[in-house]
Amino acid sequence: WIKPGKVLWDWWNNNNIYGVDFKAGINTATYMYMIDYAAKHGFEYILIDEGWSGRVDLLTLNPETDIPAICRYAQEKGVGVCLWAKWINVDKQLDEAFDLMKSWGVQGVKIDFMDRNDAIMVNFYERVAKKATECKMLVDFHGSYPNEGMRAKYPNLMTREGVVGLEYNKWSERCTPVHQVIIPYLRQWVGPMDFTPGAMLNAQKDCFRISHIEPMSQGTRCHHMAMYVVYESPLQMLSDSPTKYDENPQWLPFLENVPTVWDETYPLWGTIGKNVAVARRSGDTYYVAAMSAGEAASAEIALDFLPEGEW
């Protein structure tokens, strides 16, 4: 039941789905549409972020979001549903909330806003991991300190944030291309990283603007596609909306096929804060990706990691 995959996500893109016969937002129709889109493109999960439940009560549903019906529809389509929750609510309602989610058919949880690593919080992580294992649910610790080894005990701990990720573009200029080619050498060293790549509205520094409603990333689309190989996360987010991906159809075949777990990894080339190139193998398929910190760079990369034969 521990199944990695790509996750179509609502929060980053502010539910910006256009050209549909319903009002997109935190509602059942939007998530049914996302399920259809995920099924069409072979994406394994959708993530329903903030707003599906009461602000201080995970047992009370937003009347606009019928989570049991959404989960039933997702099961029919072969798509998993993950739910977001604030840690403070999970802390108060862990057993009741997770048992209820399990009864609905929820397959994963994204826990957020912990933002500390004292003994109380570390013990909270353990309680969540244990209960999620009992309920056969995957866990994404957002708002988290970086990995410290719990995955060896709980392999359903799929990924963690613990990084200045894509979401910072909605309120800050900190998530720069320079930062994005530092973290493969630094944060990624300790394990899976929930950076949440996949932005389709992209800008160079002189054109970048901060927007919560119509967010953009710094860099290029190609830069973001490279993250799906350079950055490891067994639950890998697709941060933008179905509309944005349909507007950029040249990327869909790649996003449909790129794995989220790998059999081998080969560091190829790069300098911290300037550039990075990585090769990864999944089965008989090799992916090679390179990222730069915003300035042009050329490199000759040896392919001597390939076995004999034609590739």
Whether 112 is a known active-site residue: answer yes
Element spanning 73, H or E: helix 67-77
Whether 284 is a known active-site residue: answer no
What is the C-alpha to C-alpha distance for residues 298 and 277, in angstroms, rounded to an integer? 11
Point out the catalytic residue in the list 112, 161, 232, 240: 112
What is the C-alpha to C-alpha distance for residues 36 and 30, in angstroms, rounded to an integer? 10
What is the C-alpha to C-alpha distance for residues 68 and 172, in angstroms, rounded to an integer? 36
Point out the catalytic residue in the list 167, 194, 232, 240: 167
List CB contacts of 82: < 8 A, sequence separation 6 or more: 7, 45, 46, 47, 48, 106, 107, 108, 109, 110, 138, 140, 235
Integer-rounded Cα radius of gyration of the chain: 19
Angle 159-160-162 from CA coordinates, rounded to 5°: 155
Strands 45-48 and 80-86 come out as parallel
Residues designated as active site: 112, 167
